[in-house]
Amino acid sequence: MKDWNGNGNSIYKTLGASNHTDKEREENDYYATDPVAIDKLLKVEKLSYTVWECACGAGHLSNRLREHHHMVFESDIIKRVKDSGLFAFYDFLTITKSSVHIEDFDIVTNPPYKYAKEFVLKALDLVEPGHKVCMFLKLTFLEGKARLQELFSKYPPKKIWVFSERVMCAKNGNFEGMRAGGGSAVAYAWFIWEKGYKGETTIGWL
């Protein structure tokens, strides 16, 4: 009975899945994304040749983008990637346009959970009109008054691509451990913004 009374994620153990509760989250919010998320994204969205992965972790998404022949600039507050020659230490939320030395880029990332809204707003500030911001986010990101007032009402996504099958985000990149624990209990989607877009948001499925 102790497990049921004292452990807030007991239900997720019962389900054999992980929901990454706040109490258990990795200190620097490092949850690697299964690269299959990029494969699915590129089936429905055309990206610029140059892509900035601004919370790159160990490079799971950026490496897959390179496999699809994109030039990828990587940044993060901690260096976990192998030296690609295109990595920079950046606190993305404090960066200015004048310090960005790449051009004609889209931004693609799985942002830190607790700063997702701020990452979207910063990314939209940094890209040029017509360029895309693609964020791998929980479906529950659609909820919340603050997000409606500060983000969605001003900058509606052009498209939301919902995964029809669950995609894993593994704490510290430990995909094997996550599979052994039953996979993911979280529903994700690619949220696509195009700077300057003012139309309605449409939803599709991957």
pLDDT of residue 88: 80
Contact 116, 124 (CB under 8 A): no
Is a pLDDT exceeding 60 seen at residue 3?
no
36 φ, ψ to 5°?
Answer: -60, -20
Q: How far apart are CA 115 and CA 127, in angstroms?
A: 18
Average pLDDT over residues 21-25: 43
- The range of the structural domain enclosing residue 183 comes to 2-205
Give which of 147, 136, 152 is closest to 187, Cα–Cα.
Answer: 136
- DSSP code of 14? H
Q: What percent of the chain is predicted at pLDDT more than 70?
A: 76
pLDDT digits (tens, 9 = 90+) for 114-146: 899 999 999 999 999 999 999 999 999 999 999
- For residue 87, list its beta bridge partners: 74
**Residue of 161, 163, 141 whose CA lies nearest to 152:** 141
Pairing type for strands 87-89 and 71-76 reads parallel
Which one is predicted more confidently, 120 or 89? 120
Q: Which of 82, 93, 190, 97 is nearest to 138 (CA)?
A: 190
Tell me, what's the pLDDT at 87? 77
More reliable by pLDDT, 179 or 57: 57
> Which pLDDT score, from 0 to 100, does residue 183 have?
55
Give the CATH number of the domain where residue 13 resides: 3.40.50.150
What DSSP element (H or E) covers 182?
none
Number of domains in the chain: 1
Burial 100-119 (b: 16+ CB within 10 A, else e): beeeebbbbbbbbbeebbeb
Q: pLDDT by residue (tens digit) across 24-72?
A: 444 556 677 999 999 999 999 999 999 999 999 888 999 999 999 999 9
Average pLDDT, the chain: 82
